[in-house]
Amino acid sequence: MAAARVSLKNRAPIKSRAQIKSIDAYIAKSPPEVRAVLRKLRAIIKRAAPPQTEELISYRMPAFALHGILVYFAAFKNHIGIFPPLKGDAKLETACSKYAGPKGNLKFPLDRPIPYALVARIVRFRVKRNLEKVRKK
């Protein structure tokens, strides 16, 4: 998948997310220069996850859930954050290591291409893990 760059020139601050009830609203309230990235990120996640995956807002961030949270994502001033931290797949952890923040959450800088293919891998891994947990119960 093609990566995208976002210009950081004259970036408007992220608007308050306090009353946001949907991912559409979250994207609409984001600065115009990150909306396309957020829309593409959402589409990548939806394509990588099964159809029954639920979209929601949790902790004032867009999230996708299937038997628990798969991923959260959020726009920040200089990066897109992906949560929660990854554990349990050494190859995927290595692929994500250059984006890892201090707590293991991922930070994709807006002045560099967004690794959409990596996001899809993360989602597929999280789907697999969540479904394994359900089967074990």
The pLDDT score that the predictor gives to residue 137 is 74
Q: What is the pTM of this model?
A: 0.85
What helix, strand, coil percent values describe the chain, rounded to 5?
A: 40, 20, 40
Cβ 63 vs Cβ 108: under 8 Å: no
Q: What is the pLDDT of residue 136?
A: 85
Q: Residue 11: is its pLDDT beyond 50?
A: no
Q: String of b and e for 84-109 (b: at least 16 CB within 10 Å)?
A: eebeebeebeebbeebeeeeebbbbe
Q: Specify whether the CB–CB gap between 72 and 79 falls below 8 A.
A: no
Q: Which domains does the chain have, with CATH numbers?
A: 23-136 (3.90.1150.200)
Q: Rounded CA gap, 52 and 95, in Å?
A: 28
pLDDT single digits (tens) 41-100: 999 999 999 999 999 999 999 999 999 999 999 999 999 999 998 889 999 999 999 999
